[in-house]
Amino acid sequence: MQFSGKRAVSLRLNGALDLRLVSTLAPGVSSGGSAQVNADFEGTLDNPRITGRIHIDNASARVADFPTGLSAITGDLIFDATGFIFDNLTAQAGGGTLRLTGSGQLHRASRALRHHRTQR
């Protein structure tokens, strides 16, 4: 990893990730559980290209200003060079099941997020 100029990055992650780390990176969010990560990070820190998969199994998350949290979060995030896809991502909230499908863009200039959710 380079820390001056374009700050190039080339990193491969394979293994378990403790999702409590999200709480340290995003103030106001508490999270728990674990995820299996198999991903490559290439490019620069300003514009990384992420490819691979993150599998989440029985995680939880809560945003400080939101009245209910999510539990039993399970599913996959699949990354390609430009964005990610929610693959069979489900969670429990307020006694119901949420299903999240869709995609998001990872380009710094384009912060578009398309998604569809179903609540039962």
Sign of CA dihedral 2, 113, 103, 87: positive
Read off the pLDDT of residues 6-33 as tens digits, 9 standing for 90 and up.
788 899 999 999 999 988 888 899 999 9
Q: What is the pLDDT of residues 67-111, one digit of tens each?
A: 899 999 999 999 997 788 999 999 999 889 999 888 887 655 555
Residues 108 and 116: beta-carbon distance below 8 Å: no
47 has a pLDDT exceeding 60: yes
Distance CA 35, CA 48 (A): 21
Q: What is the pLDDT of residue 35?
A: 96
Alpha carbon distances (Å) from 114 to 6, 9, 22, 33: 30, 27, 22, 26
Report pLDDT for 120.
57
Cβ pair 9, 41 in contact under 8 A: yes
pTM of the model: 0.76
Cα(17)–Cα(31) distance, integer angstroms: 12
3-class DSSP state of 66: coil
